[in-house]
Structure 1
Amino acid sequence: MITSLNVDDQHRLVEAILRIDGMSVRRGREVHLAALERDLGHRLPFEHHDQDKLDVWALVDVLLNYPGAAQALVRNLERFYKGSLSVAALRDLVRELVPEPWLGQEERRELHQLITALERVDPGLTHLSRFPMLYRRAVGPAWPLLDREMRSLHDVVALLEELPSGRDGVPPLLVFVDDLAQYAAPSTAPAIREWVRRQAAVQGLDGVLFQRRHVQVEARARPEPSETYLIIACTPDALEPDRYLVTAWLQVDREPGSTLQCSDEALPLSRIPELLERLLTADSSVVGRRTPDLTVEFVLPRGLLDHPVEDSKIKIAGFEHRIGIKYPVVVRSLDRMRLAAVHHDWRHKWTALRENALDAPVCLVTRRGEYDQEELFSKLSESPAVLALAFPPWAGSEEPDEHWVGLVSGAPVIAWCRVGRDPARFAREVKDLLASDLMKLPRRTMELRRQALTAGAEEAAPDHLGLHLTLVFDDADRIPEPYVRLRPPA
C-alpha cells in the first residue's frame, strides 16, 4: 500500500466515521459502501467484521488502498447528510491525511468501467496474468515486483495510480493502460486508447507518449523473441521432504514472468506430469504464446537434479509422449539461485559463454575422483563454463561431489550421464554434442533424445546417451526475482 497512515492517524479516521449517525451501525455502512462502489465504478474488496470499530478499521484500510475512495465517500455523505458537522469534520480530516489523487472522479470512474468491460470479455483473466510484464514496463527497474495479491485489474489500476511519475514525467498508470490496450479485445481497445489520449492531453504528455509508442512500434517491427520458457520450480516441503511446493511461470525472453501456478499444497513427484499436461495443453497463456518455440525448465533442489524430468509424459488427444522429445528440457539449480555468494561467478561465466558460444572451453571429467575437489574448482574457476561428467551425482549424499563443485564454481552448463558411461565412449559422444554453438545446446539435446527413439536398432539401444542425459543449462540473466537481492534504484 502506497498511501499509508500511522496507527494514531488511522484511529482518528475510524473515530470520525463512527461519529456519523449513518456510519455508526453496520447496516448503514453497507448502504453507503454500495453507493460508494457505484460512484467508483467497481467493487471494493471489503470483508465485514462483527465489531463496529474493527469493521470501520477494515473499511479505512480499503479506502486507503484505492485512490479517490475516501474523497468519494465524503462527497456521498455530504449529499446524504447536508449540513452535518460530523461529516464536515471527516471531510477536513480526509483533506489533512489523504492526498488528492491525480485522476479526477469522472476520469477514474470511466477507467474502471472500461476495465470492467475488459474483464467481461475476458472471464479467464488472461490480462491479469500479464500483470507482472506490464507492471514492470510501467514502473521501470526502480520498483521491485510487489507480492500484494492482485484479484482484479481494478487492484492493479488502484496500485499504479499511487506511484509517482517516471523520469519522462509519464505516470505509470498511463503507461500501463496504454500497454493494456494492445492486448484488449477489439470491442474495448479503442475506448481504452481514447481514454489514454485524453489523459495525456490534459497532462501535456502527448509528445512523450507518442515517442514512447514510436519506440515500441520499432521494437515490434524487429523479429519476435526467439524463445519462451515454461519454468517449473520444486521447493522441498519443510514437513514432508518427499513432497514439493510447485510454482510455475511463463517467461518471454528476459521479460518478467507471469505466474501460472503457485500452490500451497505440497505435491509428490508423481503429480508433476499431471501439472505439466494441464499447463502445456489447457493453459491459455502457454497454448496461446506469441512464439511457437518453448523451452521447459525445471528449477530443482540438489536431491532432484538427477531425476529424469524429460521423461515426464503428457497426453494430447489420446496420444502419450515424453516431453523431452517435444520440447527442449533443461534443469536449473534451486540451491544456486538461493546462494547469492556464487552469483558473481555464475554471471561472469554465463556472459563469457554467451559471448564465445562457438569456441567455449569444456572441462571433461570421465572418472569419479579424476580430480581433487579443490583442483577441479581451480580448473573451473580459470575459464570453463561447461562441465561434462560421465557419471551421476552421489545419490542421497550431502557431501560435495564433482557436480556440486561445478555448481559452486558458477559453471552455467553441466551435462552428465545418469547411469554412468564408459570414459572413451562418453568423451566421443559429448564431444559431438558440444561441437557447435553452445547456446543451442538445449535444442541439440532434444534432438539427441529423439535420435534415441528413432535411430537404427544398434544406435537406439537402451543405453543410448539421449535416454540418460541430464543437462543443467542455467541462464544467469534470468534469475527469478525472489532469488535476487534488491539493488538500489538506478
Structure 2
Amino acid sequence: MTAGTLGPGERRRLIDALLRIDALSVRSTREACVTELQNTLSRPLEWERDERALHDVWGLAVACLGRPGGIQTLLDVVEFFDRGSHAFREARALADAVLPEPLLTTEERRLLAQLVQHLERQGLTLIQHAELVPAYQRAVGEFGPPPRPEVYDERHIVDVRLLIEQLEEAPLGPDGVAPLLRFVHELAGYAKAPVATAFAEWMTRFAERTGLGQDWRRLLTATEKRPALDNAQRAASLVFECRPDGADPDRLAVSARLERADGTVAMVRCDEEPEPVERLPALVEALLNRERGLLAAEPCELTIEFALPRDLLDLPCDQFVVTLGGVPRRLGIEYPVVLRSLDRMDEVWLWPKWRSKWNLLREGAGEARVHPVCEPGEYDGERLFAVLSDPEAVGLAMAYPPMDEGPGRVDEIWVAFETGVPIVVWCRKSRAPERFTEEARELCGSDPATLPRTVRRLRREAVLSQDRRQNRRPQTLPGGGALEDANDRDETEHLGMHLALLYDDADRVPEPYDRLRPPA
C-alpha cells in the first residue's frame, strides 16, 4: 500500500489517530520510536523532519505509507512504548480496516533485512548483481511488474532491498507461491554458511506461515521449470572491450561484459584507469579467477571475445597464458577465443551489409562459405572486393597476416568490412601457400558457424603436437649425427599456434553511449 492509493480522507483519519498516541505526539518518545523503526525496516525512511508534532508525524506516516507494511511496522514499534492505550487500539483497528495485510510480519521483515545485510558484507560480484533483475523477473513471471528504474545506482549495482520491497506487493502466483519466496530462494544461492543456513530457516518459517507447509521446496522446484533452450539460446560470450586512451594510445580502457543470446548483459568490469597494453593478459587472468565459479555455471560453453581497434587485431589473445586454479595454460585451448572489431561497431554505415551476411550465416540459408587467399598479392583490392561481394561469401581465410605494411598491399580487413564479411581468419606467421591450401580446406569447408570451436580444436592440437615434437627422440644416422624431421624444423609450425579468428556477431552490437546501460 502506497500513499497514493489511500484516499485523502482515510489518510487524514489515520494520521489523526496516530497523533492521538502519546508515544508519537510527545517528541522524546517519538524520537525513540523513529530510531527503532529505522533499525527494523530494510531501508531507512526519509522525510523532512519538523519541530511541530503534527507536521513531523504527518511526514512520518506518509513515508511509512510508501513502504509495504510500513504503517503496521510503525505500530508494532509504537506498541512497545504505548501498549494497551485506547488511542493505540483505535489506530491499530483503523490501520487494519483501511490497509491490506502485509505479506511479511515485522519480525520476518527485520530478519530478512539482516540476512541481506550479511550477504552484502560477504560480497556480491558484478555478475551476481546483474543476475538479480532476471531473478526478480523469473519470480514475478512473464506478466509481472517490471523492476523500478531506481533499483540501479550510478555503477549499475542493484539495490536488493528495493527489489524485495517491490516483491512484497507482487500478487501470488496461481500455485499460491509468493514471488518474494522465489526470489529469496535464488538469492540464498549466493550465500555461504552460516548465512545460507539462516536463509533456509527463514524460508521454511515463512512457507509454513503462509500455508505452503514443509514440502514448499518441491512445489517451488516444480513450478520453476521452464522450456528447455537450444544451444543458440543458451550461448554466452565474455567480451573484453579495449579502447585506446585518448591521451596515450599505448594504454587501454578495458571493460568486460557477459552477454547472453537471450539479451541479458552483465557488466563484470567497467572502464577504469587505462592500463598499458601489455597488462591485458593479467587483467583477463584476474577477472577469470574472480568470476570463475559463476562463469563455469553458464549453461552453455563460454566464448571469450576481444573487441579491439584495427591496429591491435594482431594481438595473440588466444596465446595469453593464464593461471586458473593453479594451472597455467593458453587461453585459447580452454575457451573459443575470437576477435571483434571496434572500428566496425563504431561505423554505423557498415552495418547493413554486415547484418545481411550475418543473417545468412545464422539462419543457415544458401551456401555460406569462407573464401581462401593463399598468397599476398593474389588479389588486388578491386578483385577481392568483387569476390567478397558475393552474397554467400561470409568469410575470408588468409595464409598470412593482414596487418603487414608494404607498397601496393591490399587492406584485406577493411575490404572485408566494406563487403559485410563477418569472419576473417589468418595465420599470424606467413604460411607456405601449398600447405595452407590443404589446411584451409577444413576451415573453408566446415560450417562457418562452428569456426570458433573448430579453431579452438586446432589450437589444442597445436599444443599436443608441440609436446610430441619436444619428446620425440631424433633418429641417428649410421655414421653418427641426427636425422632431421621436416616437422621438427619449427616447433610452433602447427597452424593452430598462429591462427587468429575475427568473428563479428552482428546481433550483439552495443549502441553508442549505451554500452553500460542495465538490461531492460
Aligned partner of 1:130 in structure 2 is 128
Matching residue's letter, 2:199: T
Identify the match of residue 498 of structure 2 among 461, 464, 468.
468
Distance 1:150 1:392, change over 3 A: same
Give the alignment of 1:433-448 within 5 angstroms: 433-448=443-458
Matching residue's letter, 2:160: L
Give the alignment of 1:84-483 within 5 angstroms: 104=102, 106=104, 110-111=108-109, 113-114=111-112, 116-118=114-116, 120=118, 123-126=121-124, 129-136=127-134, 138-139=136-137, 148=153, 149-150=156-157, 152-157=159-164, 176-177=183-184, 179-180=186-187, 185=196, 187-189=198-200, 191-192=202-203, 216-219=224-227, 227-251=235-259, 254=262, 256-286=264-294, 288-291=296-299, 293-316=301-324, 319-356=327-364, 360-366=368-374, 367-368=376-377, 370-373=379-382, 376=385, 379-380=388-389, 382-394=391-403, 401-455=411-465, 456=469, 458-459=486-487, 461=490, 462-480=492-510
Whole-angstrom CA distance in 2 between matches of 1:305 and 1:236: 13
Whole-angstrom CA distance in 1 between matches of 2:344 and 2:204: 44
- Unaligned residue ranges in structure 2 (runs of 5+): 5-28, 47-58, 83-97, 213-217, 470-484
Instruction: Give the stretch that moved more between structures: 447-456 or 124-133.
Output: 124-133
Distance 1:32 1:107, change over 3 A: closer
Distance 1:274 1:78, change over 3 A: same
* DSSP 3-state at the match of 2:239: strand
Shift of 1:432: 1.8
Instruction: Give the stretch that moved more between structures: 138-147 or 363-372.
Output: 138-147
Over aligned residues, Cα RMSD in angstroms?
A: 5.6
Deviations 1:190-229, CA, capped at 9 Å, x for gaps: 644875898899xxxxxxxx99975741436989986543
Identity between Structure 1 and Structure 2 (%): 32
Distance 1:427 1:240, change over 3 A: same
Distance 1:316 1:175, change over 3 A: closer
Distance 1:242 1:380, change over 3 A: same
Shift of 1:348: 3.4
Whole-angstrom CA distance in 2 between matches of 1:105 and 1:138: 17
Distance 1:420 1:134, change over 3 A: same
Whole-angstrom CA distance in 1 between matches of 2:158 and 2:502: 36
Shift of 1:113: 3.5
Which structure has the larger Rg over C-alpha atoms?
Answer: 2
Whole-angstrom CA distance in 2 between matches of 1:38 and 1:135: 26
Whole-angstrom CA distance in 2 between matches of 1:223 and 1:187: 36
Give the alignment of 1:2-13 within 5 angstroms: none
Matched-pair contact (CA < 8 Å) for 2:40–2:110: no
Matched-pair contact (CA < 8 Å) for 1:449–1:467: yes
Shift of 1:387: 1.9
Matching residue's letter, 2:388: K
Shift of 1:189: 4.4
Whole-angstrom CA distance in 2 between matches of 1:160 and 1:378: 57
Matching residue's letter, 2:313: L
Distance 1:355 1:414, change over 3 A: same
- Unaligned residue ranges in structure 1 (runs of 5+): 5-27, 47-58, 83-99, 202-209
Whole-angstrom CA distance in 2 between matches of 1:108 and 1:478: 45
- Number of aligned residues: 431
* DSSP 3-state at the match of 1:434: helix
Deviations 1:309-336, CA, capped at 9 Å, x for gaps: 1121123566533212232211122233
Deviations 1:117-150, CA, capped at 9 Å, x for gaps: 2553575434763333441464579979886342
Give the alignment of 1:10-21 within 5 angstroms: none
Shift of 1:266: 0.9
Instruction: Give the stretch that moved more between structures: 228-237 or 105-114.
Output: 105-114
Distance 1:31 1:396, change over 3 A: farther
Whole-angstrom CA distance in 1 between matches of 2:386 and 2:30: 67
Shift of 1:415: 0.9
Shift of 1:403: 0.7
Instruction: Give the stretch that moved more between structures: 307-316 or 188-197.
Output: 188-197
Distance 1:128 1:265, change over 3 A: closer
Whole-angstrom CA distance in 1 between matches of 2:370 and 2:45: 56
Matching residue's letter, 1:353: L
Distance 1:163 1:388, change over 3 A: farther
Whole-angstrom CA distance in 2 between matches of 1:347 and 1:164: 42
* DSSP 3-state at the match of 2:264: coil
Matched-pair contact (CA < 8 Å) for 2:254–2:274: yes
Whole-angstrom CA distance in 2 between matches of 1:358 and 1:247: 37
Distance 1:239 1:356, change over 3 A: same
Distance 1:347 1:441, change over 3 A: same
Matching residue's letter, 2:401: P
